[in-house]
Amino acid sequence: MRAYLIKRILLVFPLLITVSVLAFMISKAVPQDQVESILELRGLDDSTAYDGNEKEEYIKVYKKLKYDLPNFYFSIIPAHYPDNINKILNPQIRNTSNRIIKQNYQSDKVIPIITEITSLQGDKSINQSDLNKFFRSADPAVLVNSNDVILHKFGLQLSKTKVKWFLPKVVWHGLQNQYHNWFSSILKGSFGNSMVDGSPVIKRVKQALLWTLSLALCTIFFAYPLAILLASFINLYPNSYFFKVISQFLYFTHSIPTFWMATMLVMYFTTDDYGTWTNIFPSVGINIYPDKSLITQIYYNSHKLILPIVCTTLHSLAFLTRILSRSIHDQLSQPYITTAYSKGLSRKNVILKHALPNALIPFITLFVASFPVALSGSVITEVIFNIPGLGRLFYNSITVADWNVTFCVLTFIATVTVISYLIGDFLYAWINPKIRFS
């Protein structure tokens, strides 16, 4: 048992590291430029060409966020690629050189030529439309075919640097790279600052976690005991009309899409459009009282949380009751139930004291898996009901491409999922001795 425990715990760390590497790679593959988004949010647009203050501002932000370091510890790239493309501070030069180098042009000759060409921008004696076409398409043929003498000369110089074949090269960057900085700052506990308002990410995630956690806890608190009650009653009185109606109702509620039910509830119960007598719930949204304590905030907003809790609880309840009643039904065909009946035990005794505990065993795995499920189900509910929880935070930061917040939420969810599956496995092995010794 102890060896199983240790082996499972040791497997967690490579898993989380792999997930973090994958997430980092995705964030670097995103086509949007991070620094430009930050500048846009702060009001310095890049709609005009880079001249004057914006360029220096860009370089300042770029250097402060340390984007000029290489991406990872090592890179395996063709020999004609530059060792570290991020070293070039000007984004226009960097993007154009990147696209040209990818068409098999020698990098250490291309970069000075592109630097010279970009300095020609704004010069009235050069054909600017050809220049812009070149920057848009990154095709040296545009320069070669141009009428302008200087551009034509540059185009010929570029075409001479074309490489026919290349070998791979392995470049070792050492510990000075973006991934290492990011990962070590995570281990120290700081996820950076959010791009939207500059506040630390941990603070925003903590505030959002409060609402999501309270929603999830309420759902679990209401759904699980009710599910156990309903499932045992359905099996205790299988001929009762009332419980037949309830089980059919749950069967039909199981497949309702959450977002549709939430939208219908919001439409019908919170607005005046269908008659004032149906406007029994307050409008959506949460009022934040920043100076009160956490519990007080939930208490003041509790009347707004009723509808979301009803939404998620109904969905979970349907799912859980169906699984549990099927599980109890499967248990009732086992031999030990026949033994119990032949001993003279009453039906209530057999089902509640013998069949139900055995049927609850796979329920435990569901219970510990319900935390990640609640987190993932909260995205749509929180977006509709306008609750500032983790799901809505994730959705907003994805649409704005705020990767610090996204990573924090992702890491948190991955950790919670892995830990809950671990706990589920241990509980299962502890309760069921057959698994322990296999």
Partner 1 sequence: MKSLGNISGFIKRMGLSRWQITFITAFLFIGIFHNFLANEDLIVCYEKSKIGILVPLSVCNSGLPAPIPYSANYIDKFNRNVGPFDKQEIASIHHRHWLGTGPLGRDILAGLIHGSWVALYIGFYTVLFSLLIGIFFAFISGYIGDHGLYISKGNILLSIPLLFITVFYTLYTEGLIRWSFLLLLCVSLFLIVKSGRLFIPRKESYAIPFDLIVQRLLEIMQTIPDIFFLLIMLGVFSSDNWFNIIFAISFLRWPSVTRYLRAEILKVKEENFILSARSIGQSEWKIFTNYVLPLSLSPVLVSCAFAFAYAILVESALSFLGIGVPADQVTWGSLINLAKHNFSSWWIAFFPGILIYVTVLFFNSLGDKIDDSIRGL
Q: Where does this chain touch partner 1 (CB under 8 A) — which range of 20-28, 48-56, 90-98, 111-119?
A: 20-28
Report residue 52 CA to chain centroid gap: 38
Question: Please, which residue, 306 or 373, has the CB nearer to partner 1?
Answer: 373
10 Å CB burial of residue 164 (0-12, 13-18, 19+) is exposed
Q: Are 309 and 222 in contact (CB under 8 A)?
A: yes
Residues 139-178 binding partner 1 (CB under 8 A) are: 166, 168
Contacts of 284 (CB under 8 A, 6+ apart): 266, 270, 304, 307, 384, 385, 386
Question: Please, which residue, 146 or 194, has the CB nearer to partner 1?
Answer: 194
CB of residue 21 vs partner 1: minimum separation in angstroms?
A: 11
Tell me the C-alpha distance between 295 and 318, whole Å. 30
Cα separation values, 217 from 165, 220, 222, 408, Å: 61, 5, 9, 21
Q: Where does this chain touch partner 1 (CB under 8 A) — which range of 199-207, 344-352, 355-363, 372-380?
A: 372-380
Question: Please, which residue, 117 or 393, has the CB nearer to partner 1?
Answer: 393
Question: Please, which residue, 27 or 121, has the CB nearer to partner 1?
Answer: 27
Binding residue count for partner 1, defined by CB under 8 A = 57
Question: Please, which residue, 154 or 191, has the CB nearer to partner 1?
Answer: 191
CB of residue 57 vs partner 1: minimum separation in angstroms?
A: 25
Q: Does 242 bind partner 1 (CB under 8 A)?
A: no
Q: Pick from 38, 311, 418, 429: which binds partner 1 (CB under 8 A)? A: 418
Tell me the C-alpha distance between 361 and 364, whole Å. 5
CB of residue 77 vs partner 1: minimum separation in angstroms?
A: 7
Q: Where does this chain touch partner 1 (CB under 8 A) — which range of 40-48, 178-186, 261-269, 297-305?
A: 261-269
- Give the H or E element holding residue 80: none
Residue type for 203, please?
K
Q: Pick from 192, 406, 408, 429: which binds partner 1 (CB under 8 A)? A: 406
Phi and psi, residue 75, nearest 5°? -140, 140
Buried b (16+ CB within 10 A) or exposed e, 348-357: eebbeebbbe
Q: Pick from 252, 299, 336, 430: which binds partner 1 (CB under 8 A)? A: 252
Residues 301-360 binding partner 1 (CB under 8 A) are: none
CB of residue 379 vs partner 1: minimum separation in angstroms?
A: 5
Q: Does 365 bind partner 1 (CB under 8 A)?
A: no
CB of residue 279 vs partner 1: minimum separation in angstroms?
A: 11
What 8-state DSSP symbol labels residue 353?
Answer: I
Tell me the C-alpha distance between 44 and 134, whole Å. 26
Question: Please, which residue, 388 or 391, has the CB nearer to partner 1?
Answer: 391
Q: Does 65 bind partner 1 (CB under 8 A)?
A: no
Question: Please, which residue, 351 or 418, has the CB nearer to partner 1?
Answer: 418
CB of residue 414 vs partner 1: minimum separation in angstroms?
A: 5
Residue type for 177, please?
N
10 Å CB burial of residue 259 (0-12, 13-18, 19+) is middle
Tell me the C-alpha distance between 117 and 268, whole Å. 62
Q: Strands 168-172 and 74-78: what pairing?
A: antiparallel
| Interhelix angle 201-236/241-254, nearest 10 degrees | 150
Structure tokens at 361: 């065993």
Q: Does 282 bind partner 1 (CB under 8 A)?
A: no
Tell me the C-alpha distance between 399 and 404, whole Å. 13
Residues 177-206 binding partner 1 (CB under 8 A) are: none
- Give the H or E element holding residue 217: helix 201-236
- Give the H or E element holding residue 376: helix 361-385
Q: Does 380 bind partner 1 (CB under 8 A)?
A: yes
Question: Please, which residue, 89 or 171, has the CB nearer to partner 1?
Answer: 171
Report residue 431 CA to chain centroid gap: 33
Q: Pick from 117, 228, 379, 393: which binds partner 1 (CB under 8 A)? A: 379
Instruction: List interacting residues with partner 1 (CB under 8 A).
Output: 11, 15-16, 18-19, 22-23, 26, 30-32, 76-78, 102-103, 166, 168, 252, 254-260, 263-264, 266-268, 271, 273-274, 372-373, 375-377, 379-380, 383-384, 391, 394-395, 398-399, 401, 406, 409-410, 413-414, 417-418, 421
